[in-house]
Structure 1
Amino acid sequence: MKYEEFGKRIIELVGGKDNVQAVVHCMTRLRFTLKNRDLADAEAIKAMDNVIDVVSNKVSFQIIIGTEVAEIHPEILQLLGMESEVKEEKKQNIVKRILDLVSETLTPILSVMMCAGLISGILSLLTVSGIISSESSTFMIFDSIRTSMFYFLPLFIAASASKRLGVPMYLGMLLATTLLSTTINGVEGLDLFGIALPTITYSSSFIPVLLGLWFMGIVYKYVQKIMPKSLDYFFTPLLTIIITLPITLLLFGPIGTWISDGLGYVFQFIGDTFGSWLVVTIYAACQPFLIMMGAGNFIIPIVVNSYATLGYDAMFTPAWIISDLAVAGAMLGYFLRAKDAKQKQFFGTLSFSAFMGITEPAVFGAFVKYRRPFFAVMIGGGIGGLIAGLLSVKGYTMTTLFGLLTFIGNNDYNNLYFMIAALIVGFVVAAIAGYVLWIPKSEQEEVKTEVKITESGLNKVRLTTPVLGESIPLADVKDKAFSTGALGKGIAIKPEDGLVKAPIAGEVVSLFPTNHAIGIKTEDGIEVLIHIGIDTVELQGEHFTPLVKQGDVVNVNDPLIEVDFAQVKAKGYDPTVIMVITNTQDYLEVVPNMTNANELVTVVL
């Protein structure tokens, strides 16, 4: 076992084998479900070699490692004596559970998809250089790796998702291969028990087989319960497949096709109405925020569906590569501006890591701490994404920067040239923005000495409590983005009342669609964020009633949002209300006051 000692140490520091209920992984992190979170020593884990950071939230205890997590995960399972079908706690809502299932099903096969994409890029290079012909047998043999990957996608899905859904893997693969058989896949005029079947092409798709596997898991468990042990070996699989296949053909095949086509129509509508350039621009600018929130994988099913139905992806594939390179550029700008040797080494390492496609070290190591790099990436990534979007750049397979040649596609060299141009612009602009936005330590000290003085001394602005309740330090909040001060200084309140009020006069500049967060900006430029509860975005606005709208001007103590905190707590969410000054760095000091609700936070100008 290559990572045996590392795995043993991780298990020890999360509280031992007996404290682990489940452990799964995504692209870069291990996600533990622990019986007692207090037994885990997060600081000791952070200090380990190969560990980038630790993120602890309501759903899971996450250890961010990097792409080698795919090798580490099975070894940790072996050390724990667990099988890979172990599951996380089901505290999240149904939409979150579905997205997690799809993401965790597709993540293990991404490396294989990228492998197929890199082979396609190599073949493009060889044909361009004249070494082999696209009509030769050699080309067709190696190109079959790419075509087979997507044609047999349902089979890969079955192997990846079966255990997660409680299905024996080979039984799940039997369902997938049956759907791909020449007697069913794309065949017209079929009927089952006299019921006409729609013509459905199951190859290069994943939603129908995933729905079928979900149903198969339910059937398998039920049949296993009623089947005598002496007959279980033969007749449980038999009855399961006999029940599942007809339901899949009659119900889940059409539903899966409608969902798949629906996703295609949605993004086609966006492209036709607003232009796909808008999606590319926004995602290339905002990807680091999604990574920080643990939501970076939500696009995977959309991208896979685009490749399966259209043969290309004109939105997210170009955007994520541009964004990764913009992160590298921003960190390069910080590297060039930094004077301290340790800072230069730090930012240089983060820039190289992002260039290689691993941006988590930069996001959690620098972006969360300094915040300004987010703006550098938004500027550079946004401009690069805008160029790619306006020039209609298409990704023909899932890949990284090193699979750039796959953008040639079907001899579409302009597509490659446009992508290279977008990458260069995104990288260079982000580097310049990072260089400009950086404030060296000496200059920070100079800025802090420029204090406004009035006749009564320092110029101060006072914020009252946004909700009645017990005040607690921000450090005690169970959300790393707030407790570390990464989003600004402030205070938190354990609410005793359901009415959230304005702590200061100003304009409502933002109201999150789920109504769990609201932003106010004063005439003096103070930016106040009120965040209601931890992870309450998952409630999708339920139990939150907005009393104002974006653009409204409010006075102190004006009602903003009414919240049913009893229901929020009943759903298992922490109701803590958090108030921070998001532009803390613009002021001399932000001082929380734990004892006076009429002066809960003081901003010293």
Structure 2
Amino acid sequence: MNTPTSEMLAEKILRGVGGPENIESLTHCATRLRFQLHDGSKADQAALDALDGVMGTVPQSGDRFQIVIGGAVAGVYSDIMNLPSMSGGGTPRPQSDAEVKAEIRAKGRGRFAWLDNFFEYLSDSFRPLLGVLLGASLIIAIASMLDAFGVVDFRAADKSATWVFVDSMWRSVLYFLPIMVAYNAAKKLKIDPWVGATVMAAVMTPNFTGMIGSKTPGVTTTTNATLGTSESVAHVFGLPMQLNDYGGQVFVPLLMVALLALVYKGLKRVFPENVQMVFVPFFSMLIMIPMTAFLIGPMGIWAGNGLGTGLSWLNGNAPIVFAIVIPLLYPFLVPLGLHWPLNALMLVNINTLGYDFIQGPMGAWNFACFGATAGVLLLSVRHREKDMRQTATGALAAGLLGGISEPSLYGIHLRFKRIYPRMLVGCLVGGLIVGILGGVDTKAFAFTSLLTIPVFDPMIKYIIAISAAFFTSMALVYFSDYRTKEERAQVNGERDAAEAAAKAEAAAKGEAAASARTVPAQTVPAEERELVAVGAAPAATGGPASAGSAGAGVPAARKGLELAAPVAGRVIGLGEVEDPVFASRALGEGVGIEPADGHVVAPADGELITVAETGHAFGIRTTDGTEVLVHIGIDTVKMNGKGFDVRVEAGRKVSTGDLLAEVDLGAVRAAGYSTVTLMTVLNTADMASVEPHTGQDVTAGAPVVTVRR
């Protein structure tokens, strides 16, 4: 069952992207919601970034928009799709020929639109396979650990049937990867994915691969004495066709589907709709299977081998340069989704060279990333930051156990500018060690996590490199902090206020319960019943005599500090405010005021400790140490200062009634936010009582809260 909180997040995301009418389609990957919008300019990026549960946003050309959620993405996607307004799954609208041409011209104006489309094609061809690739890498890791402990010879040619079967569990993913990639690529290009899979499967059947090196009539095999390699050529219909084993190849299906999409869509224009189901797949297969076997397949093999050989040359002739470049490159490729081509090259290396040399240096980047997250986690524990502790714990677990960096990147690193430079130092240290020690290889495609360490060779060199990367980043982040001194002081102040308010509320409830047990309600005089309600024992029972209400019989000396209304309007209790933080008194006791105008004044004499850059909040410390928060509207921080004319600055002394800001309430309402202005006493826990006076219409400057110490 979905919780109200998750449903609220889904609704807010839907509003943030411009509503269901602005959504053409919605999909998701391992960490991100991926929107295709009708008009990308309608997405409110600032408002979406400010949502709890959203790690970040990534606008792209062509009206594409990504929202990074993290591990909970599937649940949020489900919540959005289950909203009544999304029952149609988006709102694609029919377009005229002129509109289609205009849209294509408009998208073509983006300087890098073609590049975005290219990398989106690569990414979406691989991304859905993330789960099975991770599963295969963990099976390899387990087998490698058993091999390291001498339980089984993982690489022996004469393994038992049991271990041959275990091999098939992970080889199934890597060998049939071309078929899976072809399916996804065809789906991305909006053609029948099963046609793409079928074309690729045709050159991977036992009938086709069985001709390699065989004595089948029409097949000739030649051996290169110098290189020790053999090559088989089959003469089909009198034409020479180079035979290759396409298992594990990725460039071949990517090239093939790109051409298949042109053929498939061209055939759909040729045949009437009532016969397309039969003839479009038929002619697509008839054209593309020979095209793949004779031309695209060999071209893909050559292209992949060429890239792999080039990188291998760089790794062999300048290993230190290679080992440094890879981990320093990844932190910038992954956030943009541009790392998938390198992943494809890793698979090519394994299939052509028998090993891969990219994943070793890449591990330095991953563990530097996780080390930075560990530094944030240690700081969040030290400074008692509950939300950040939860975020960092989940991100670190996903990284160390799954090798997934997105939760760390979008949940933490990209939000705090101080982290990236420190993380890059860890990448540099780890990569440098890999290069100096002569490189690290692996014979398997594996996500770089703690569980997959045994697949790397030499393992001890790999452990030294990733440990150095991890602890370098962790130490730099921990000892220099990921927040500036000013940010740390502000965050810690807010934390202290919230903790004090929580303790005060808990103490008040406990004392009230104790008083209710020892003094029956009917025996408490009417004028003292309010004392029990605020958590103070009545004077007759020996409780604190200083705590009390503004009622009759209170000595003048005990009247306390009167806080004035910061705005004119109707005074309401915090329990009536549509904000769970204020309503729970987590930020102290106080009042809400439904403002009659946007003229905001100081509620007391004192010093302005904080003035929000967006103009929506002010913190004042009075001469007697009372800390007062004035907060204009709910969630108005998302307006980024629009409609807020601030007239003061932090550090200034103010008197009751001094002008703090002029607010355009109409702009606040037009933006969809509540205008209710809140005033609370942040250090309520230090007071004997904080007494709101609600249910009245007041002018600015009229007393609305009494504070007794």
Q: What is the TM-score of this pair, normalised by structure 1? A: 0.64
CA contact (8 A) 1:285 1:380 kept: no
**1:228–1:439 Cα change, 3 Å:** closer
Kindly provide the CA deviation profile for residues 498-555 of structure 1, in whole angstroms up to 9, marking residues without a partner as x: xxxxxxxxxxxxxxxxxxxxxxxxxxxxxxxxxxxxxxxxxxxxxxxxxxxxxxxxxx
Quote the offset at 1:179 in angstroms.
0.9
Deviation of 1:128 after TM superposition, in Å, equals 4.3
Q: Which of 361, 368, 373 lines up with 1:319 in the alignment?
A: 361
**Residue 33, structure 1, aligned to residue 36, structure 2:** yes
Alignment counterpart, residue 198 of structure 2, candidates 174, 188, 192 = 174
Give CA deviations for 1:98-157 in whole Å, capped at 9, x if unaligned.
232112101111221121110111123334456667533222212111222222111111
**Distance in 2 between residues matched to 1:244 and 1:327, nearest whole Å:** 43
Counterpart for residue 273 of structure 1: 317
Aligned to 2:119: 99
- Whether 1:201 aligns to 2:245 is yes
Conservation of the 8 A alpha-carbon contact between 1:106 and 1:300: no
Q: 1:93 to 1:377 in 2, by over 3 A?
A: same
Match of 1:378 in 2: 424
CA displacement at 1:343 relative to structure 2: 4.9
Q: Distance in 2 between matches of 1:112 and 1:122?
A: 15
What residue in structure 1 maps to residue 383 of structure 2?
341
Q: Which residue of 1 aligns with 2:345?
A: 302
- How far residue 437 of structure 1 moved from its aligned partner, in angstroms, is 3.5
What is the CA distance between 1:213 and its match in structure 2?
1.9
Asked if the contact 1:324–1:354 (Cα under 8 Å) also holds between the matched residues in 2, the reply is no
Mapping of residues 3-402 of structure 1, within 5 Å: 5=7, 7=10, 10-59=13-62, 60-69=64-73, 79=86, 81-82=88-89, 91=110, 92-129=112-149, 135-185=159-209, 187=212, 188-275=232-319, 277-315=320-358, 317-334=359-376, 336=378, 341-343=383-385, 346=388, 349-350=391-392, 353-354=395-396, 356-357=398-399, 358-364=404-410, 366-368=412-414, 370-389=416-435, 390-395=437-442, 396-402=444-450
Give the direction of change, closer, same or farther, for the CA distance of 1:77–1:154 in structure 2 (3 Å limit). Answer: farther
Using the TM superposition, give the Cα deviation of residue 264 of structure 1 relative to its aligned residue in structure 2, in angstroms. Answer: 0.8
Q: Matched residue of 2:26: which SS? A: strand
Whether 1:430 aligns to 2:473 is yes
Whether the 8 Å CA contact 1:379–1:429 is kept in 2: the answer is yes
State which drifts further: 214-223 or 357-366: 357-366
Shift in Å, 1:244: 1.2
CA contact (8 A) 2:199 2:285 kept: yes
Displacement of 1:205 after TM fit?
0.6
CA contact (8 A) 2:144 2:455 kept: no
Tell me which amino acid in the other structure corresponds to 2:451: G
> Letter of the aligned partner of 1:379 in structure 2?
V
Q: For 1:184, what is the secondary structure of its paired residue?
A: helix
Letter paired with 2:464:
A
1-side partners of 2:379 and 2:187: how far apart? 50
Distance 1:168 1:383 in 2: 47
Normalising by structure 2, we get a TM-score of: 0.55
Q: Kindly tell me: are residues 125 and 362 of structure 1, through their superposed partners in 2, closer, same or farther at Cα, counting changes over 3 Å? A: closer
C-alpha distance in 1, partners of 2:407/2:68?
A: 9
CA distance in 1, matches of 2:196, 2:284: 10
Does the 8 Å CA contact 1:284/1:322 hold for their aligned counterparts?
yes
CA distance in 2, matches of 1:325, 1:295: 19
Structure 2 distance, partners of 1:289, 1:189, is: 43
CA distance in structure 2 between the partners assigned to 1:222 and 1:194 by the alignment? 29
The separation in 1 between residues aligned to 2:71 and 2:162, in whole angstroms, is 32
- Structure label with greater radius of gyration: 2
Query: 1:123 aligns to what SS in structure 2?
Result: helix
Number of residue equivalences: 441
> How far, CA to CA, are the matches of 1:74 and 1:176 in structure 2?
33
1:203 CA displacement: 1.6
In 2 relative to 1, CA 283–71 (structure 1 residues): closer, same or farther, beyond 3 Å?
farther
CA-CA distance at 1:72 after TM superposition: 5.6
Contact 1:158 1:172 in 2 (8 A): yes
Post-superposition offset of 1:8:
5.5
Which residue identity lines up with residue 257 of structure 1 in the other structure?
Answer: I
- In 2, Cα distance between equivalents of 1:440 and 1:202: 51
> What's the % identity of the aligned pairs?
26
Counterpart secondary structure, 1:312: coil
Q: Provide the rounded CA distance (Å) in 2 between the counterparts of 1:210 and 1:167.
A: 14
Q: Is the 8 A contact 1:122 1:405 kept in 2?
A: no
Alpha-carbon distance in structure 1 between the residues aligned to 2:80 and 2:238: 51
Alpha carbons 2:360, 2:439 under 8 Å: kept: no
The amino acid across from 2:439 in the alignment is S
Q: Does the aligned pair in 2 maintain the 1:154–1:205 contact within 8 Å?
A: yes
| Counterpart secondary structure, 2:203 | helix
Rounded Cα–Cα distance in structure 1 between residues aligned with 2:487 and 2:42: 39
SS in 1 for 2:356: coil
Distance 1:289 1:176 in 2: 33
Could you tell me how far 1:171 is from its partner in structure 2? 1.8
Instruction: Give 3-state SS (helix, strand or coil) of 2:354's partner.
Output: coil
Sort the Cα spacing of 1:95 and 1:191 in 2 relative to 1 into closer, same or farther, 3 A: farther
Q: Point out where structure 2 has 5 or more consecutive residues left out of the alignment.
A: 94-102, 213-231, 490-613, 615-639, 641-709
Per-residue CA distance 1:480-507 (angstroms, 9 max, x = gap): xxxx9xxxxxxxxxxxxxxxxxxxxxxx
Cα distance, 1:237–1:157 mapped onto 2, change above 3 Å: same
Aligned CA distance change for structure 1 residues 72 and 278 (closer, same or farther; 3 Å): farther
1:385 is aligned with what amino acid? Answer: G
C-alpha distance in 1, partners of 2:245/2:295? 14
Provide closer, same or farther for how the CA distance between residues 180 and 404 of structure 1 changes in structure 2, counting only shifts above 3 A: same
C-alpha spacing 1:318/1:62, structure 2 compared with 1 (3 Å) = same
- Structure 2 distance, partners of 1:55, 1:41, is 12
SS at match of 1:356: helix
The 8 Å contact of residues 179 and 200 in structure 2, kept in 1 or not, is answered as: yes
| RMSD over aligned Cα atoms | 3.7
Give the CA deviation at 1:441: 5.7
One-letter code of the match for 1:61? F
Which amino acid letter does the alignment assign opposite residue 329 of structure 1? Answer: G
SS at match of 1:397: coil
Aligned counterparts of 1:74 and 1:445: Cα–Cα separation in 2? 37
Compute the displacement of 1:324 (Å).
2.7
Is the Cα–Cα contact under 8 Å of residues 106 and 160 in structure 1 kept in the other structure? yes
Cα distance in 1 between the residues matched to 2:132 and 2:459: 22
How far residue 391 of structure 1 moved from its aligned partner, in angstroms, is 3.6
Report the AA paired with residue 10 of structure 1: I
For 2:274 and 2:484, locate their aligned partners in 1 and report how far apart those are by CA, in whole Å: 75
Q: Which has the higher contact order (CA 8 A, sep 6+)?
A: 1
CA distance in 2, matches of 1:312, 1:326: 24
- 1:80 positional shift: 6.0
AA paired with 1:319?
P
Q: State whether residues 377 and 392 of structure 2, in contact with CA within 8 Å, keep that contact through their aligned partners in structure 1.
A: no
Q: Residues 29 and 63 of structure 1 are in contact (CA less than 8 Å); yes or no, is this contact kept in structure 2?
A: yes
8 Å CA contact retained: 2:26, 2:89? no
Residues 407 and 49 of structure 1: CA distance in aligned 2, closer, same or farther (over 3 Å)? same
| Cα distance in 2 between the residues matched to 1:80 and 1:300 | 37
Kept in 2: contact 1:208–1:255 (CA 8 A): yes
